[in-house]
Structure 1
């Protein structure tokens, strides 16, 4: 493999959909985060060496498993099957909503690594989490948990709630400055509105051209709609659905806290 692409974002920020955009390209081998897999659970930390990173990434590229390859989602047609595939894809793409604190180490220690940092309007991301029965614990109080996300943090590397959203967004802004050629900041709402342009732009930085299989997925993923929280087929209206159902007190608090800060740019 010639390049690594780490697709990162807070939970409920569109990482599944954007991840499938990369999965659709024949020159990309796509995996879920190895650090959350049975095979490589928590295999790296902030003290890991360049050789350890290199070994894990190669092992991830070489290993096929139920979780890493999303077989459990594909069986339920929540993610598509892409038949066109290079025999030995030149790029390994990894999707993760965890372990954001390791991204500076990845970029420092792996020279051929790129990171796509996806940021969604925090009001939309928080609403998507609070309204998702697969992610928000039954019995937890949204009015107290939306900020800390404490009720959902059960393992190392977990990021949930508005405080974590702020920390991750600030980290991404910092990494975009430090690594302007290898950290690519992505606004989820913009990608939904202009999918071909955003996809083409990022693929170009990786030395890839837009493939017909990717174009087909982009078109079909925004026409067909599945309500399942893990489905990647969603109508573009998902970007504004929160406006009618997010608790106004939460929305107002988020806007008030971000106004006048660099993070206000993520308010759609």
Structure 2
């Protein structure tokens, strides 16, 4: 594998069926956001997989319009793990959802920091945007979901790429890429031990919504076990009850990743990227992701990469951290027996080809996690 492609995995059986460059609905100019919609970039990954930082790598480009987890605010009706063969049933809903993204005003969706200068936005408009976000977040303590009175929508700017970043819809990626025929997607994957450690750390510090910790709630795992991918592992409800929290999370990781990769294996418009490779070579991997999604290289992105990877911020959700330490923190954070249990589950799946680790050699690295 060439250096440029290190850590990137195109679908192994990509065929011409996914090479279409037609618009998402075959329409041209049907609304003022149609061009942005038809140049859509999907950035999908499981929670605690580095999607926020990588999302900001895309947002740092002056020709992108970034929307942060909009499907966590405006819910889609399609299942979390739909079957790819049913993609046509969700085509209209997904098209309408993507078309609506430039118009959204929720501060979670349009206000994730930092906010970057854009080619379609004046310096004055950028100041107004930053002020609007600050006001909306301050007002949110008094009135829930207080909207941003101003946010860019890039209307009429044909060169803009719309970026939809999601941790809600990784299991929908196959359906989304099938329904949005001109979209390109980055599927971000993090080591299962890194994912498990980060989720458990977040639960311990009460960073997540919900009354029950994710690791103790069997709901998501039961959904996954009901999928064709899940049924192939022959796990039962009794098995779920016996699992430790680390094992439940590891199985969620395995079944979700198997679902994603199985759904996109025949599409060359999806690139699987390991978070650890982005941390190890942020410049090279960002260039590769930009090239894949049709973006040119810009100094603004290079500056942001330097700033975001050398910082020592320990906030759970910050994008300014020591990226290499973030990727490897699990090695010193998880107990050796927990690492072995997680890797045993990983090696029960073909996914082990992505990660070949020696569980007996944890590395002592400090720092925060993305």
Normalization by structure 1: what TM-score? 0.83
**Kept in 1: contact 2:250–2:345 (CA 8 A):** no
Alignment correspondent of 1:58 = 99
Alignment correspondent of 1:171 = 259
Q: Is the alpha carbon distance of 1:112 and 1:134 closer, same or farther for their aligned partners in structure 2, counting shifts above 3 Å?
A: farther
Give 1:152 deviation, angstroms: 8.9
Equivalent-residue separation in structure 1 for 2:48 and 2:114 (angstroms) = 19
Q: Is the alpha carbon distance of 1:243 and 1:140 closer, same or farther for their aligned partners in structure 2, counting shifts above 3 Å?
A: farther
**Kept in 2: contact 1:25–1:85 (CA 8 A):** no
Alignment correspondent of 1:185 = 272
Equivalent-residue separation in structure 2 for 1:113 and 1:12 (angstroms) = 24
Alignment correspondent of 1:112 = 182
SS of the residue corresponding to residue 131 of structure 1 reads helix
Matches within 5 A, 1:118-267: 118-132=188-202, 133-135=205-207, 146=215, 150=217, 161-179=249-267, 181-235=268-322, 236-259=324-347, 261-267=349-355
Equivalent-residue separation in structure 2 for 1:107 and 1:233 (angstroms) = 30
Give 1:62 deviation, angstroms: 2.5
Q: Is the alpha carbon distance of 1:174 and 1:151 closer, same or farther for their aligned partners in structure 2, counting shifts above 3 Å?
A: closer
Q: Is the alpha carbon distance of 1:52 and 1:172 closer, same or farther for their aligned partners in structure 2, counting shifts above 3 Å?
A: closer
**Kept in 2: contact 1:117–1:183 (CA 8 A):** yes
Give 1:248 deviation, angstroms: 1.9
**Kept in 2: contact 1:176–1:184 (CA 8 A):** no
Alignment correspondent of 2:16 = none
**Kept in 2: contact 1:50–1:109 (CA 8 A):** yes
Deviations 1:108-147 (Å, cap 9, x if unpaired)? Answer: 1110122211111111111111112244689978xxx75x
Residue 68 (structure 1) aligned to one of 78, 86, 109: 109
Q: How many residues get paired?
A: 249
Residue 49 (structure 2) aligned to one of 13, 18, 28: 13
Alignment correspondent of 1:76 = none
Equivalent-residue separation in structure 1 for 2:206 and 2:341 (angstroms) = 25
Give 1:51 deviation, angstroms: 2.3
Give 1:215 deviation, angstroms: 0.8
**Kept in 2: contact 1:118–1:185 (CA 8 A):** yes
Equivalent-residue separation in structure 2 for 1:176 and 1:51 (angstroms) = 20
Equivalent-residue separation in structure 2 for 1:14 and 1:110 (angstroms) = 24
Equivalent-residue separation in structure 1 for 2:255 and 2:185 (angstroms) = 17
Matches within 5 A, 1:19-30: 19-30=55-66
Work out which of the two has the higher radius of gyration on C-alpha atoms and give 1 or 2: 2
Normalization by structure 2: what TM-score? 0.61
Q: Is the alpha carbon distance of 1:126 and 1:27 closer, same or farther for their aligned partners in structure 2, counting shifts above 3 Å?
A: same
Q: Is the alpha carbon distance of 1:209 and 1:138 closer, same or farther for their aligned partners in structure 2, counting shifts above 3 Å?
A: closer
Give 1:100 deviation, angstroms: 2.6
Unaligned runs of 5+ in 1: 74-78
CA RMSD of aligned residues (A): 2.6
Unaligned runs of 5+ in 2: 1-35, 121-153, 225-247, 358-370
